[in-house]
Amino acid sequence: MDFVSDMKAKAKSMRKKLVLPEGTEPRTVKAARILVDEQLAVSVTLLGKVTEIQKVADAEGVNLNGINIVHPHGDASLNKYAHEYYELRKHKGMTEDQAKIDIADPLRWGSMMVHLGDADAMVAGAENTTGDVLRAGLAIIGTVPGLKTASSCFVMAGMDPQWGLDGAMIFSDCAVIPDPTAEQLADIAESAAQSCREFLGAEPVVALMSFSTKGSAKHDNVTKVQTAVQILKGKNPGFVFDGEIQADAALVPSVTDKKAPGSPVRGKVNTLIFPDLGAGNIGYKLVQRLGKVEAFGPFLQGFAKPISDLSRGASVEDIVTTAAVTLSRVK
Ligand code: ACO
């Protein structure tokens, strides 16, 4: 599996519209050029003042031909977008006047473009924090029907082929929710299962991990995972899962037989759910560094429409790859 090539090929075939809100950010401007040249999107929109974006493009030697530029403050959609934002946020005390000011913020404007179908996907975070990107997406795009939680996953690739799908697995949540509730953990498992289908092209087999297997330890953190498993059972989500289960019992069939005999995930796990962000974030980095494994992500999941957050240290190529992956998820 060549994850990046696969996602780029998929994005190219889908011909979707991308918005990059950080239009005056140099790496973003360069990435926009590549995305258009490689035809990974049918249209790419940068948000910001034309003169400022042109200045950045000139400094970087980037030709802006074929790239759309939208300046929210003067745009013909301002009243429409502001009214929709007001409708979405009035239960939180938003006024029409405030909505007109707030919606001009590029992250909110980009989210609104996606919400209203003027763009199919948004990628941001080269100069904004994860929290800012997430909050704009949550306020405007919201979560997929049936789920209340947005979270994230990594695609781990290049592991020993005995693990997951020829050495590729989904790890979740490694970047968003510091201490998920049982309900959130169940949502994370559902979203990760969907990510497994979209990214690995495989039916998900999901392990909800803990430091306990089937009641071997007692602690609030264990109870939380057990409750999440019960919630999932109640929802009958249409994929194979088990928990609470330790990592070795989830992965190694001989250990499964000892600690969780009869587990439906025995020898087949391709999606690992961590009990909290501490475990997830540390876990993926350990596997990445000690196992010399590729970690792609974090990719946001659970949103009603595809958006992605970038690391502020992202390279131009990271932005292009993330955009391709995000576009590949458009329904
Ligand atoms: N899913 C759905 N809705 C959510 C979620 C979520 N995960 N988190 C918050 N919300 C909702 C809240 O209910 C609230 O809704 P409302 O405005 O309708 O009332 C709204 O979003 C905003 O909530 P806040 O209270 O402002 O945000 P909060 O303080 O809960 O922070 C956030 C949420 C921004 C997602 C936070 O959890 C965060 O910053 N996570 C990122 C953690 C991080 O920094 N990770 C970096 C590691 S990345 C790496 O290493 C690769």
Dump pLDDT digits (tens) for 294-317: 999 999 999 999 999 998 999 999
Per-residue pLDDT at 91 exceeds 70: yes
What's the pLDDT score for residue 1? 66
Q: Is the pLDDT of residue 142 over 90?
A: yes
Q: Which residue has 């961590």 as its token pair?
A: 274
CB 136 within 8 A of CB 111: yes
Counting residues of the chain whose pLDDT is more than 70, the rounded percentage is 100
Band (pLDDT 50/70/90 cuts) for residue 96 is very high
d(CA 152, CA 297): 8
Question: pLDDT by residue (tens digit) across 25-80?
Answer: 999 999 999 999 999 999 999 999 999 999 999 999 999 999 999 999 989 999 99
Helices (H), the chain: 3-14, 26-37, 50-60, 78-89, 96-102, 106-115, 130-140, 182-195, 220-235, 247-251, 253-259, 277-290, 316-328
Q: How far apart are CA 258 and CA 256, in angstroms?
A: 5
* Averaged pLDDT score across all residues of the chain: 97
Distance 159 CA to ligand 1 centre (A): 31
- Please compute, for residue 237, the number of CA atoms within 13 A of its CA located in the half-sphere on the CB side: 25
Return all residues near 152 (Cβ < 8 A) that are at least 6 apart.
172, 173, 174, 175, 176, 297, 298, 299, 300, 301, 309
Nearest to 101 by CA among 70, 134, 73: 73
**Residue among 100, 51, 97, 94 at smallest CA distance from 75:** 100
Share of the chain above pLDDT 90, in %: 98
Average pLDDT over residues 152-157: 97
Ligand 1 site: residues with CB under 6 angstroms? 92, 130-131, 134-135, 138-139, 143, 149-150, 175-177, 281, 298
Work out whether the CA dihedral 322, 17, 102, 302 comes out positive or negative: negative
Residue 247 pLDDT class (50, 70, 90 cuts): very high
pLDDT in tens, 179-229: 999 999 999 999 999 999 999 999 999 999 999 999 999 999 999 999 999
pLDDT digits (tens, 9 = 90+) for 156-169: 999 999 999 999 99
Provide the pLDDT for residue 199: 95
| Bond from prior residue into 244 cis (ω within 30 degrees of 0) | yes
Which numbered atom of ligand 1 lies nearest the CA of 177?
Answer: 37
From the CB of residue 86, how many other CB atoms can be counted at a distance below 10 Å?
18
pLDDT at 261 over 70: yes
- Measure the CA–CA gap between 76 and 65, rounded to whole angstroms: 22
Q: Find out whether the peptide bond into 173 is cis, omega within 30 degrees of 0.
A: yes
pLDDT at 71: 97
In this structure, the strands spanning 294-301 and 271-273 are unpaired
DSSP 8-state secondary structure symbol assigned to residue 218: -
Q: Which of 102, 138, 149 to mutate to test the pocket of ligand 1 (most atoms within 8 A of CB)?
A: 138
| Most distant CA atoms of the chain, gap in Å | 66
